[in-house]
Structure 1
Amino acid sequence: MKIEHVAVWSQDIERLKTFYERYFSARSNEKYHNAKKGFSSYFLSFDTGARLEIMEMKAVPGSKDDPYQQFTGLIHLAMSVGSEAEVDRLTAKLAEEGYEVLDGPRRTGDGYYESVVFDPDKNRIEITA
């Protein structure tokens, strides 16, 4: 068994698609649009076979959760970039380009080497070796 995909609501799927394509080498399918429902989505595929569905529908309100706080539910996506050097490089690049780094790079108590950044929608992205 495997997780087939994870879905995320966004108020700007074009911006989110560009972020994952640029920094995590995602490949996008053609945009799906349902005019009757006002719904649009992309499936973003990664080299390992994992997929992220990004969805937009104007009727879906923004989150009321504070992205700086932890809360119950899905809290981050972990993206493995293959090495500690790549964690350092990508984290520095994201910071230079205006993305907020919440933590790291650092070694965690359970042995991971990681940083945590916000994507454009303030979803937490854990960048791991």
Structure 2
Amino acid sequence: MIRLDHVALYSSQIEVIRQFYEKYFGANANEKYINPRKGFESYFLSFAGGARLEIMQKVNVANGANPEGAEYLGLTHFALSVGSKEEVDALTDRLRAENYRVVGEPRTTGDGYYESVILDPDGNRVEIVA
């Protein structure tokens, strides 16, 4: 059986990103991996249900050319399920109140998801789905 194991993101602020996903999405981080020779650090964030997100920081990794929150070719978003429409609404409201950018208001999409779209501290698009 083939399954997606994890998705990885580079960040210039992995501690901020780690804390964001722990606080709002219940992620659990492993012990930080550090390779000083390569100037590399990473965490694996584990979510309920087995999904994992690797967040990485490395010296001399170029900043992407896409404007914050813009859609572009390649990986454009990932979705985290919170279980219900009420939880989508509540978490979206909480993130907005704490000054995170909501770029897609809660709604039912054409493919049947109830979702909102927010930007994480690095400007990555995150769908909050029921």
Give identity over the alignment, percent.
54
Tell me, in whole angstroms, the C-alpha distance in 2 between the residues paired with 1:8 and 1:49: 18
Partner of 2:52: 51
Deviates more, 1:76-85 or 1:103-112: 103-112
SS in 1 for 2:74: coil
CA distance in 2, matches of 1:111, 1:70: 21
2:9 aligned with 1:8: yes
Per the alignment, residue 110 of structure 2 pairs with 109
Alignment of 1:1-129 (within 5 A): 1-129=2-130
Segments of 5+ residues of structure 1 without an aligned counterpart are none
| CA distance in structure 2 between the partners assigned to 1:68 and 1:50 by the alignment | 22
Q: CA deviation at 1:102?
A: 0.1
Deviation string 1:94-120 (CA, Å, 9 cap, x unpaired) is 000010000111111222110000000
What's the CA shift for 1:71? Answer: 1.0
Give me the TM-score of the superposition, normalised by structure 1: 0.97
TM-score (norm 2): 0.96
Within 1, Cα distance between the matches of 2:77 and 2:43?
A: 19
Question: In structure 2, what residue type is equivalent to 1:113?
Answer: Y
What's the Cα RMSD here? 0.8
Amino acid at match of 1:42: Y
Between the aligned partners of 1:81 and 1:96, the Cα distance in structure 2 is 18
In structure 1, the residue corresponding to 2:80 is in which secondary structure? strand
